[in-house]
Amino acid sequence: EIVMTQSPATLSVSPGDRATLSCRASQSVTSNLAWYQQKPGQAPRLLIYGASTRATGIPARFSGSGSETEFTLTISSLQSEDFAVYYCQQYNDWPLTFGGGTRVEIK
């Protein structure tokens, strides 16, 4: 099973600042990596797939990068609605696996 490790567990950021979230895979997942956002009491929302392709309707301030085992989700200028938990997920191999999540909170 491919283990996905996200860091940091919690990120404190001021509105308007940049946030950088990391995701590491225990073995190569090539570019088969997705990112999701989840707010309290809501279902997750797909942000990025293919490591760097924004899903439909996702603002340009969200960007993904990386390949193989190291990935980054960057939020260029945090808006109030961006404070949430973010998960990475690999789909290179079965079983599909998620990272433990990064909580982005208001500083």
Partner 1 sequence: EVQLLESGGDLVQPGGSLRLSCAASGFTFVSYGMTWVRQAPGKGLEWVSGIFGSDSSTFYADSVRGRFTISRDNSKNMLYLQMNSLRAEDTAVYYCATRQFYFDDWGQGTRVTVSS
Of residues 61-80, which lie at the interface with partner 1 (CB under 8 A)? none
* 95 interacts with partner 1 by CB under 8 A: yes
Binding of residue 32 to partner 1 (CB under 8 A): yes
For residues 71 and 87, which CB has a smaller minimum distance to partner 1 in the complex? 87
Q: Tell me the two tokens of residue 49.
A: 């797939």
Among 29, 49, 62, 69, binds partner 1 (CB under 8 A): 49
Q: Following DSSP, what letter does each residue of 14-82 receive, concatenated?
A: -TTS-EEEEEEESS--TT-EEEEEE-TTS--EEEEETTTEEPTT--TTEEEEEETTEEEEEESS--GGG
Token match 């996702």: residue? 58
**Contact between 91 and partner 1 (CB under 8 A)?**
yes
Query: Site residues (CB under 8 A) for partner 1?
Result: 1, 32, 34, 36, 38, 42-46, 49, 55, 87, 89, 91, 94-101
